[in-house]
Structure 1
Amino acid sequence: MEKLQFIVLTLVTILSIFSDQILVQSQVSLEYVRPPPRRIITTPHDRPEAHPQQVHISLVGKDHMRVSWVTTDKNAPSTVEYGKLPGKYDMSMTGEHTTYRYFFYKSGKIHHVKIGPLEPGMTYYYCCGGAEKEFSFKTPPSKFPIEFAVAGDLGQTEWTASTLLHINKTDYDVLLLPGDLSYADTQQPLWDTFGRFVEPYASRRPWMVTQGNHEVEAFPIIHAHPFVAYNSRWIMPSDESGSSSNLYYSFDVAGVHIIMLGSYTDFDANSAQYKWLQADLAKVNRQKTPWLVVLLHAPWYNTNTAHQGEGESMRTAMEHLFYNARVDIVFAGHVHSYERFTRVYNNEANPCGPVYVTIGDGGNREGLAMMFQKPSPPISLFHEASFGHGRLRIQNLTHAHWSWHRNDDQDSTVRDDVWLESLSSTAKCKGTAGDQRQFKPIGDEL
């Protein structure tokens, strides 16, 4: 009998520990069981060689769009025909193309064509390379409100499919992706399957991305150049924002200035990225763009045990720039869970610091990061280890609504949401990035 009691007690203890890890370390409802990873979806290429595949679009300047796609036919033209009516294209642009090699892999012909000028809030129909298949996209509005979908560490799994399905159920204007796209990890055909996988979504709304650690794909000596596939396939508006690298850039849309930074390129005070960021922030006019948003991959604030401290050196180098410029919100990925912090500066709550959000839960093949520190630091307001996506709806000059949506099979459940006030309109923090004299740091006064 004592032996049986001991076995029962042992089982209860194990279940208690397991339950504590699953339910207590993350703020999650008791009835919800976190999902395991799901299989990778490898989307086949079933079109003729000259037909476009992996079509995606991105913003370029205030009224242009870049259309990117791949063909296996090396003679296919880099042209885009487009217009405001289905099947009627009264405009045409020709662009550029590239290819790359990665060991024994050789890419298809990668086309990039910049089209415009385009009208805001308008639907355009287009075809690529003279093929008959028609695509369409809607340009973002020029004024508020504007809505962003945000999803990090996406991958191409069944959970990714669920995330994208939920994102697509409600209209949005631009998708923001803070790194880790395909999870190819040197297996270059997975870049092709990823491009085909996201095409139904990325061809109809602009996707603005930055790189993560899974995009590096470098080996010492034998393949020393990082980001070859990423830079060849996902060209962002670096030239237009005065950046010398595709790994960091900025753009304006409606009344929002968005900065995309590189966690895996130099960022110290002597680096090109740091100097570019300084210059970019100095140009921001908060009268015209009252909202200032930053995306990067490795989070600066993180209470998950996964990847703990990996963004610390970048935070130490650059955080004061964010604070002095009154950045409103910072999105990061890398940690495969969701977490939202209060406004923070230098590891302490500060009403003039950015809100930091980790959203590395798009659907990656590696699974979720479920272990959070206990007790949770007071600057961390909400965390949950589940797959999902976020929505940032900027309503007007002063207010925006942020919500995080958990994937619940066929449904998408709002688990966290908050109203935000722009720091450019907050009396205590008011100022413009172009006039640093208005930004007297208040951290020492608190």
Structure 2
Amino acid sequence: MRFLVPVTIVLLICVNVAASDYVRPKPRKNLEFPWDRKPSSQPQQVHVSLAGDKHMRVTWVTSDKSSPSMVGYGTSAGRYDYMAQGDSTSYSYVLYKSGKIHHTVIGPLEPNTVYFYRCGGEGPEFQLKTPPAQFPITFAVAGDLGQTGWTKSTLDHIDKCKYEVNLLPGDLSYADYMQHKWDTFGELVQPLASARPWMVTQGNHEKESIPFLMDEFVSYNSRWKMPYEESGSSSNLYYSFEVAGVHVIMLGSYTDNDPGSDQYNWLKADLAKVDRERTPWLIVLFHVPWYNSNEAHQHEGDDMMASMEPLLYASGVDIVFTGHVHAYERTKRVNNGKSDPCGAVHITIGDGGNREGLARKYKDPQPEWSVFREASFGHGEFQIVNSSHSLWTWHRNDDDEPVRSDQVWITSLMSSGCRVEKRHDELRKRLMGP
């Protein structure tokens, strides 16, 4: 369903169902998804991601080391008018040896178009749809997914959403050193992730480091390659991309972010290059929330907030999505620890369905900047209608169907009285120099 909103009218519609008014159903049994390695060249764990202007990256795994990193694709079923050659990698983790992980970039692709593709010259045919070139566009958003019955419920609900891009602010598989769980996660999300681009950033469960033996993020970086090189980043842990009038920045909560760090310097440069005429919406994702009234994970993001929030504020960031806290919370526009009409809306959505359960305890009284909070599994839909208006909806999964539990129209800072263009021009001059 699409929403048409007159630009001259500012709408603010909130549907707030207080947690105290909601009777949560009995917990469902968590399910496990067993993995059985299939020794063949058949593509497994297929997912796609955006890879620069008009391009997408297709990633899949084969157990046959001789399988080619080749993708045939076209706009008609069974007919592959174009071929792309990519590369591959693999990794060892203690006694585990991964399959051959293929990464192949296809394109240029037409916007808002269905493409049929086949990986490695054999196996089933998949299809994907490219995002539109302009508004409207819808993002699905869910963090801290894992592999439980609640995860399956979240994925089923997202599958019913008419979205173009999925955003995941960290904690994907919850493999936690058991590497075969990366494989089961890849199989679990393949039906959705092979059809729409999944754009992810890392969480604490992706670290998987073993002192003196295994570096951090080896599994994550090998399997979920994002367009960091295309965005001028030196690390797969932070990057940016643009789609349909939106500039999206994915930051790393678990890599250096203090002033002078590579990530900090990259963020300054990336923000300075943003053209708010071309991309009037500016969105940021990372794992650890800065504004959190849940008792879980208090103050873990304080250092990152101290160093980076001034940059985001000066650039007029509209929305910040985070995970980590296994619950849902939405704030007013905030900055420097208090409400600010020119700050960003912060949304914690670490409620995808992980095995650790929900973070049920909130601080009392509720901070003045916190609008809505509830400890339930769910997902969000961010529908950007035009350059000035968007509709955010959060659906809880506790019900048999995805109920709209929190909904609000959000007006972009570009169309407000915050003079984002002037602030951003000043930032650009300060960051880039004469």
For normalisation by structure 1, the TM-score amounts to 0.90
Asked if the contact 2:73–2:116 (Cα under 8 Å) also holds between the matched residues in 1, the reply is yes
**In the aligned structure 2, how far is the partner of 1:128 from the partner of 1:437?**
44
Preserved contact between residue 25 and residue 398 of structure 2 (Cα < 8 Å): no
2:316 aligned with 1:310:
no
Q: CA deviation at 1:37?
A: 6.7
CA RMSD of aligned residues (A): 1.7
1:230 counterpart (220, 240, 246): 220
SS class of match (2:189): helix
CA shift for structure 1 position 439: 11
Q: Which residue of 2 aligns with 1:54?
A: 45
Specify the SS of the correspondent of 1:324.
Answer: helix
Match of 1:282 among 251, 256, 272: 272
> d(CA) in 2 for partners of 1:242 and 1:421?
30
1:27 aligns with 2:18: yes
Range that drifts further, 43-52 or 65-74: 43-52
Q: Is the 8 A contact 1:238 1:246 kept in 2?
A: yes
- Bigger Cα displacement from structure 2, 361-370 vs 41-50: 41-50
Helix, strand or coil at the partner of 2:191 = helix
Q: Name 1:91's counterpart in structure 2.
A: 82
Q: 1:162 aligns to what?
A: 153
| Cα deviation code 1:138-172 (max 9, x no counterpart) | 00000000000000000111100000100111210
For 1:201, give the aligned amino acid: L
Residue 148 of structure 1 is matched in structure 2 by 139
- Which of these residues, 349, 356, 360, is aligned with residue 359 of structure 1? 349
- CA distance in structure 1 between the aligned counterparts of 2:268 and 2:28, rounded to whole angstroms: 40
Q: How many angstroms does 1:426 deviate by? A: 1.1
Higher Cα Rg, which structure: 1
The reply on whether 1:81 has 2:72 as its aligned counterpart is: yes
The alpha carbon displacement at 1:410 in A equals 2.7
Match of 2:283 among 269, 287, 293: 293
How far does the alpha carbon of each residue in 1:271-302 deviate from its partner, in whole angstroms, 9 at most, with x for none? 00000000000000100000000000000010
- Is contact 1:262–1:297 with CA below 8 Å preserved after alignment? yes
Distance 1:181 1:438, change over 3 A: closer
CA contact (8 A) 1:257 1:293 kept: yes
Kindly provide the amino acid, as one letter, of the partner of residue 106 in structure 1.
K
Q: How far apart are residue 304 of structure 1 and its match?
A: 0.2
Contact preservation (8 Å) 2:314, 2:424: no
Q: What SS is found at the alignment partner of 1:408?
A: coil
The alignment covers a number of residue pairs equal to: 414
Offset of 1:53 from its aligned partner? 0.3
Quote the Cα distance in structure 1 between the aligned partners of 2:119 and 2:428: 48
Matches within 5 A, 1:335-346: 335-346=325-336
Distance 1:36 1:312 in 2: 33
Give, in angstroms, the shift of residue 433 of structure 1.
6.8
What is the identity, as a one-letter code, of the residue corresponding to 2:157? H
Q: What pairs up with 1:318-397 in 2 under 5 angstroms?
A: 318-397=308-387
Q: Tell me what 1:117 maps to.
A: 108
Contact 2:25-2:399 at 8 Å conserved across structures: no
In the alignment, is residue 182 of structure 1 matched against residue 168 of structure 2?
A: no
Checking the alignment, whether the CA contact within 8 Å between 1:431 and 1:439 is kept in structure 2 is no
Q: Is the 2:273–2:428 Cα contact (8 Å) retained in structure 1?
A: no
The aligned runs of 1:359-438 (5 Å cut-off) are 359-431=349-421, 434-436=424-426
Please say if 1:240 is aligned against 2:230.
yes
Uncovered stretches (5+) of structure 1, i.e. residues with no partner: 1-25, 441-446
Distance 1:214 1:235 in 2: 17
Amino acid at match of 2:166: L
State the secondary structure of the residue aligned to 1:263: coil
Tell me the SS of whatever aligns to 2:363.
coil
Q: Which runs of 5+ in 2 are unaligned?
A: 1-16
In 2, Cα distance between equivalents of 1:109 and 1:421: 45
Distance 1:92 1:437, change over 3 A: closer
Alpha-carbon spacing, 1:91–1:115, altered in 2? closer, same or farther (3 Å): same
Percent identity of equivalent pairs: 58
